[in-house]
Structures are given as structure tokens and as C-alpha cells.
Amino acid sequence: MNVNQKGAIGLIQVISDLTIKGYECFTPIHDYSEVDLIVMSPNYTVKRLQIKYRTADKDVVTVKFRTTSMGKHSPINFDAIDGWAVYSPEIHKITYISKNEIDLTKTSVSFRLSEGSNTVNKTKNSIPLYSSFGEICGWK
């Protein structure tokens, strides 16, 4: 599967999930915006999302803080988005990550798809479970 196919699958999965939850979804008419999807909640709160399709590497999903437009990578303008919706095909789940939940001084955010089995350094560099991120309806 190429990146365009993965992007389309991720977008479709997120739109389906949010529509079931009662959100209205709006897509840009071009492919060079940092915003992949604008969603409006039933109480008319609007959020701007970047959509990511990410497979895990050893059960860990990493989302880099960059965007790709017309084949070029560039840093994300954090003023342009409210967060990410990350589709993980291994578990067929979407993780909603608010930019207010993470450290934006880093270059990426990571999460696990299942409970880790690391018994040595659980507190050092611990990677949160995907379900530790809140739902989009709880974003500020």
C-alpha cells in the first residue's frame, strides 16, 4: 500500500468514527493544508485535526511532528491544528491526541498498542498506552 492509500484509509476511518460519535466532518478542498479534517461537535465546538495512519514498530506507534505536502516534509505549525487522530490498523482503533496533552518541544509522540512487558525501567522513558489519551470530546 502506498502513502496515499494509507492516508485515505486513515481519513475514512476517522470520519467514520467521529460521525458515529455525532460529529460533523469537513475536509479541505486541496492537499497542502496542515489541517486534514475539521470536526464540529454536537455542541458546535470546532477542532482541526491532522490524520495519521501509523503501524507499530514492536508494539509502539510514533507520530512525528511534521507534515508532508507535495512530497516535502516541514515542521508542523502548532497554531494551525488542535491535535491528531492516529489510526492504528493492527488494533483497528483511533487514538485522539490533543496538542495540549503532550510535550511540543519534542520531535514526536509515541504510544503503545498493548501493555508493555518491560519490568526493568517502568518509570524511565515510559511510553503510554493508546487508551491513556482522552477522547476528542474532552479536549480544551
pTM: 0.88
**What share of the chain has pLDDT > 70, as a percent?**
90
- Strand boundaries in the chain, DSSP class E: 24-26, 37-40, 46-53, 60-64, 66-69, 72-75, 83-88, 93-98, 108-112
Please count the other Cβ atoms lying within 10 Å of the Cβ belonging to residue 117.
Answer: 6
Q: Which tens digits make up the pLDDT trace of 5-49?
A: 999 999 999 999 999 999 999 999 987 788 999 999 999 999 999
Instruction: Give the residues across from 48 on adjacent strands.
Output: 38
User: What's the CA gap between 26 and 105, in Å, rounded?
Assistant: 29
Sequence-ordered list of residues with C-beta below 8 angstroms from that of 71, at least 6 positions apart, any chain:
none
Domain made up of 3-138: CATH architecture: 3-Layer(aba) Sandwich (3.40)
